[in-house]
Amino acid sequence: MRIALIPTGATEWDAAGRLLGRVELSLSAAGEAECGVWAEELALLGLARLLHARDTLSAQTAERIGRRIGVGTQGLRALAEVDLGLWAGLTDAELKTRFASAHRELEDAPQNVIPPGGEALRAAVQRLHACLARQLRRYDAPLGVVLRPLAWSLLVHQFGRTDVRSVWPRALTRGGPSVIELGADAATHGS
């Protein structure tokens, strides 16, 4: 089974280098263009559905891509971005200055971090993984999953088994969709 983990398209906050968290934002013109490029890349995968969080940005990204490739979308509350609490809206440089030890932990072992007033990243990974495991059991065809930056990066690490130290830099730079071939136990086991 394949899964395409798709980051949300760009926003004005991305252009300013701000951490999105769960702040309600819309696609920028650059984000609209990204959706078109990504749709072309994803069209060949034969996706059964595009799953996304229920926020505006995730829904817009999924709808733009889904419309271009003829795939339905479904919003799921459990796919929400990690709640960054007081960190939402900060730049990485501001975070590093104001929360130096937490920033170092984000770079080395992000799942140990709990943003002030936010959600523990370990709990977020468990929530996201449990949601996708349920969905993977429901579908026999490849799925696309649109996620905000940190949730996307955490799941690319979780399912793609990448170096944990790549989670934070990946969340900041975003990039394009990651297509991952899952093993038979992906719906039940995490890394």
What CATH code is carried by the domain that includes residue 30? Answer: 3.40.50.1240
Q: Does some domain include residue 125?
A: yes
Query: Rounded mean pLDDT of 27-36?
Result: 97
Whether residue 191 lies inside any domain: the answer is: no
Residues 6+ apart with CB under 8 A from 138: none
The answer to whether residue 186 sits within a structural domain is no
In a domain, 187, yes or no: no
Per-residue pLDDT band for 189 (boundaries 50, 70, 90) equals: very low
4 CB neighbour count, 10 Å cutoff: 21
Answer whether residue 36 is part of any domain.
yes
pLDDT at 186 over 70: no
189 within a domain of the structure (yes/no)? no
Structural domain for 6, as ranges: 2-181
Question: Is residue 40 included in any domain, yes or no?
Answer: yes
Count up the domains in the chain and report the number: 1
Is 89 among the domain residues? yes
102-141 pLDDT, tens digit each: 999 999 999 999 999 999 999 999 999 999 999 999 988 8
Antiparallel, parallel or unpaired: β 178-181 and 2-7 = antiparallel
- pTM here is 0.93
- pLDDT tens sequence across 47-101: 999 999 999 999 999 999 999 999 999 999 999 999 999 999 999 999 999 999 9
